[in-house]
């Protein structure tokens, strides 16, 4: 039997650079105008990458970050359950440059609406069980690669060669093995990425509807 929920949890999954953060941020900004700002929040699955402080940089670079075992979904599920019970949590913070958690955490207060975004969210039955609605960003992989290349070089301290090698070795194979098949669990499949206006409006309507339940 599922626990009683005091908040609406929306899960947004899809390939890396498919537009998950963009659509999550757009929904957040637009609903914030209707709800109290303190009543809605975004949580990124990336915060739950496992700590690798005990590994050398050489070892960290070899980690497969696109395999479900790289993420602490148990902690994410535990924190979502706590938020649903009305309890605050301390969310770990992650550095893509150091490939490990930072010493900081963010104190996150309970909200009416939580938008959760991340590549592997829909692969995990524990997390799917906690979601009130699930979305899959179905952006073509070549577009995702172009956007990831640009973003990782500009924002995540990577070289073009390292992004392409990681893409060939793990990002694309893991997408095909885990992420793409998880699309079957989505309630809504969003084509064309994070600027799909009709999809964004539909998700907002669903959230409003869930809030009235
Ligand atoms: N529809 C779009 N048009 C142009 N750029 C986009 C679009 N969607 C996302 N981007 C850009 O692509 C990059 C990856 O998008 P992001 O939302 O961070 O992806 P994800 O969270 O799925 O990894 C970002 O730099 C973002 O600004
Ligand atoms: N140290 C790390 C941790 C993760 N990644 C990559 O991040 C991608 C997921 O984040 P998005 O914002 O792109 O959804 C995932 O594909 C990992 O490969 C990394 O490169 N280094």
**β pairing state of 89-95 and 100-108:** antiparallel
Q: How many domains, the chain? A: 1
Q: Is residue 59 part of a domain?
A: yes
Q: Which residues are annotated as a binding site?
A: 14-21
CA of 172 to the centre of ligand 2 (A): 12
Spatial CA neighbour of 120 closest among 165, 69, 169? 69
Q: Is residue 183 part of a domain?
A: yes
CA of 29 to the centre of ligand 2 (A): 24
What stretches of 109-156 adopt beta strand conformation (E)?
Answer: 113-117, 133-138
For atom 20 of ligand 1, the residue with the nearest CA is 17
* Ligand positioned closest to the Cα atom of 121: 2
CA of 130 to the centre of ligand 1 (A): 26
Residues with CB under 6 A from ligand 2: 16-17, 20, 46, 49, 65-66, 96, 99, 119, 171
Establish whether this prediction's ipTM goes over 0.85: yes
Q: Is residue 22 part of a domain?
A: yes
Res 2: pLDDT: 46
* Each residue's pLDDT expressed in tens, for the chain with a length of 213 residues: 444 458 999 999 999 999 999 999 999 999 998 988 889 999 999 999 999 999 999 999 999 999 999 999 999 999 999 999 999 999 999 999 999 999 999 999 999 999 999 999 999 999 999 999 999 999 999 999 999 999 999 999 999 999 999 999 999 999 999 999 999 999 999 999 899 999 999 999 999 999 987
Q: Is residue 1 part of a domain?
A: no
Q: Is residue 193 part of a domain?
A: yes
Q: Which residues are annotated as a binding site for ATP?
A: 14-21
Show Cβ contacts of residue 74 under 8 Å, excluding neighbours closer than 6 positions.
126
Q: Does residue 151's CB lie within 6 angstroms of at least one atom of ligand 1?
A: yes
For atom 4 of ligand 2, the residue with the nearest CA is 65
- Structural domain containing residue 49: 8-212
* Ligand positioned closest to the Cα atom of 14: 1
> Which of 130-150 are b and which e, b meaning 16 or more Cβ less than 10 Å from the residue's Cβ?
bbbbbbbbbbebeebbebbbe
169 backbone φψ class: left, alpha, beta (φ>0; ψ -120 to 50) = alpha
Chain mean position to CA 122: 10
Q: Does residue 118's CB lie within 6 angstroms of at least one atom of ligand 1?
A: no
CATH number at residue 198: 3.40.50.300
Counting from 1 in the atom list of ligand 2, the atom nearest the Cα of 170 is: 18
Helix, coil or strand: residue 129: helix
Cα separation, 110 vs 48, whole angstroms? 18
Q: Is residue 181 part of a domain?
A: yes
Cα separation, 16 vs 1, whole angstroms? 33
Strand partners, 106: 91
Q: Is residue 2 part of a domain?
A: no
Q: Is residue 129 part of a domain?
A: yes
């Amino acid at each position: 039997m599922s626990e009683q929920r005091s908040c609406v949890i929306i899960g947004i999954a899809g390939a890396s650079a498919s537009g998950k953060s963009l659509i999550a941020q757009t929904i957040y900004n637009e609903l914030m105008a209707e709800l109290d700002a303190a009543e809605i929040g975004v949580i990124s699955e990336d915060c739950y990458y496992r700590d690798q402080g005990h590994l050398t940089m050489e070892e960290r670079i070899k980690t497969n970050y696109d395999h479900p075992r790289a993420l602490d979904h148990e902690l994410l599920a535990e924190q979502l359950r706590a938020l649903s019970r009305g309890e605050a949590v301390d969310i770990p913070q992650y550095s893509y440059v150091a490939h490990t958690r930072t010493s900081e955490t963010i104190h996150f207060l309970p909200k009416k609406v939580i938008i959760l975004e991340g590549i592997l969210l829909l692969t995990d039955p524990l997390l799917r069980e906690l979601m009130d609605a699930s979305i899959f960003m179905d952006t073509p992989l070549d577009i995702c690669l172009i956007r990831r290349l640009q973003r990782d070089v500009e924002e995540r301290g990577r070289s073009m060669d390292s992004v392409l090698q990681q893409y060939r070795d793990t990002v694309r194979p893991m997408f095909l093995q885990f992420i793409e098949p998880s699309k079957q669990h989505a309630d809504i499949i969003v084509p064309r990425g994070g600027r799909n206006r009709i999809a964004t409006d539909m998700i907002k309507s669903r959230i409003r509807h869930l809030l009235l339940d």
